[in-house]
Chains A and B, each alone.
Chain A
Amino acid sequence: MGVSFAAEKAEAERLRAVFAEAGAQPLDCAIMQSAETLLDLYGEDIRARAYVTHDPNRGEMMLRPDFTVPVVEMHMSDGAEPARYTYAGEVFRRQEEHPERPSEYYQVGYEVFDRGDQAKLDAEVFGLFAEVLKPVNLRPVTGDIGILTAAVAGLQTSQERRDALLRHIWRPRRFRALLDRFSGKTPVPAPRAAMLAQDDPMAKAGPVIGLRSEREIEARIAALRADAAEPPLSRAQVDLIDAVLAVRETCSFALEHLRDIAVDMPALLPALETFERRCDALAARGVDVAELDFEASYGRSSMEYYDGFAFGFVCESRPDLPPVATGGRYDALTRRLGGGQEIPAVGGVIRPGILLEVAR
């Protein structure tokens, strides 16, 4: 290490000026954010990664772990459309597993809220990042959560099972465990089998305490009975999901490969059309898509709420460092924070500290 805080700040300001030059409106937001919003969005895991402060008046506040949420909130409450924003400032992350990493560092972002041609907008953000990062030798990698979502939505099984899988797309281990259970690879656990064998499992349940009511317990028992009656997910279907997850090649080959998979899984086709339009838009911006890496699983295990295009720029000679830049599409996030409104959104952040580190 050895990039000074002053150098990091100066680099952050330089990058923000570049983004402003590209047409983005500079924005700033508070360091302390409502913990409730972030917890509701990201779940308990965010606590392990963010600093929570306690204030008798304002309750729990969090030192901003990123800018995305406050920027979306600001845009949704009084932003003009379409909008492009840039910001530069510190974010704060606890580093329990990597104490050698800084817990306070700069992020510079570029975010686009626009109802126009989404493929073009994806390409605009990626293309801009590629240009800005060009002086440094980084490997760009792309992915598309939308293809994964389409694959799951296309599975020949019950809606409940598809929903359970969709809910855990961002938790690869859990996702795998569910696939194993739905396909019968993991047997039904003995306690559940015993419970389902009873006519009235609630008969000896004893007093129902707490907020979760008897009706809710019965509803889940009914759901488990329905699931037990469901035929197992076929091996062929699991293989298709595995084939999609394993796609890891350049964009051009990936598209071809996914088209082959779509012969047996036509539900993929709309997502592949999106992918293809994005490739064309990237090519039109001068990105060499024949050389650009695509990984179907990319963006799956990050905390961010990317639900479509996802990208990162990594330094291959420094695997110890986090990516220099990351970004993607987060339409669902605007829906959840928008209070009934929504707008397609795509953007990304650069970490100037890491950029300086790898540039040396």
Chain B
Amino acid sequence: MTIKLGVPSKGRLMEKTFDWFGARGVKLSRTGSDREYAGAVEGVEGVSLVLLSAGEIPRELAAGRIHLGVTGTDLIREKLVQWDQKVEQLAELGFGQADLIVAVPAAWVDVDSLDDLDGAAAAFRARHGFRMRIATKYHRLVRDYLRMGGVADYQLVDSQGATEGTVKNLTAEAIADITSTGETLRANHLKVLAEEPVLRSQATLFRSRAAKMNDADREALRTLCEMLRV
């Protein structure tokens, strides 16, 4: 057996993860053709690389099919119930920063806080006969956040992409989404509520609490963690 390390299979997140490990003496690389999701690990024994979609890494960690995984805190918290009992956070990697925020049309000059959002939602429901719609793909996180904030009379509508466009397209009145710079929001005439974000996320290395290990695996994991200083 080997220690399985799950890393996002493409894009900037993969490259930056490779850089982060590389800077600590663990060389990760893709092998074979560009289209083949296979990888190699050099610099440490007994560790193998598994390239996965970032969205699947939480599930694989929770199931114990990988021992370590790099993914966003947002995905871990959204997808895993009682996440801290299933995975341990080993290190924040310092990239992939993004906040999960609630945004409303910039023209809503009367709405800046959750308090305002609640007031606007009450009036909206009375006027339109249905609950104010908030488009998101982070249902659990946003629902918990709005419940804690005491917002009523809203409903979440699922949006798996191009969420910023839903308000203009009249399929939602507000959105909750990940943003790094806010440019897309501004381009779509939206503004972020002046509240703490739902979540501050970044690429993070997690350890599965469920993955099985033999003595050799434990030794390999210990060596790897020493090299990574986590």
Contacts and interface: CB of A to CB of B under 8 A. Distances in A.
Interface string A166-201: 011001011001000100000001011001000001
Contacts of A207: 107, 189
Contact of A99 (B81, B113, B127, B131): B81
18 contacts: A43-B131, A43-B153, A44-B155, A45-B143, A47-B143, A96-B140, A99-B81, A177-B115, A177-B150, A205-B106, A205-B107, A206-B107, A207-B189, A209-B167, A209-B189, A210-B170, A216-B124, A220-B110
A195 B120 CA distance: 15
A44 B154 contact: yes
A205 B150 contact: no
Q: Name the prevailing secondary structure of the A interface residues.
A: helix
A214 B119 contact: no
Contact of A209 (B105, B132, B148): B105
A42 to B, nearest CB: 10
Contact of B110 (A43, A181, A221): A221
Of the four ranges (under 10, 10 to 19, 20 to 34, 35 or more), the interface on chain B belongs to 35 or more
Interface in B216-230: none
B110 to A, nearest CB: 5
B108 A212 contact: yes
Given A43-B152, A99-B81, A171-B152, A191 B108 contact: no
Contact of B139 (A47, A167, A189): A47
Contact of B109 (A47, A171, A189, A205): A205
B142 to A, nearest CB: 9
Interface residues of A, number: 39
Contacts of A246: none
B128 interface: yes
Contacts of A43: 131, 152-155
Given A99-B82, A209-B189, A219-B123, A214 B107 contact: yes
A212 B131 CA distance: 12
Interface string B148-175: 1010111110000000000110101100
Contacts of A191: 112-113, 194
A167 B122 contact: yes
B152 A195 contact: no
A195 B123 contact: no
A211 interface: yes
B105 A212 contact: yes
A48 B155 CA distance: 12
Contacts of B116: 192
Nearest to A45: B147
A99 B105 CA distance: 38
A208 B107 contact: yes
Contact of B120 (A39, A167, A177, A220): A220
A213 to B, nearest CB: 9
A340 B109 CA distance: 37
A202 interface: yes
Nearest to B193: A191
A191 B167 CA distance: 23
Interface in A88-114: 96, 99
Interface in B88-114: 105-110, 112-113
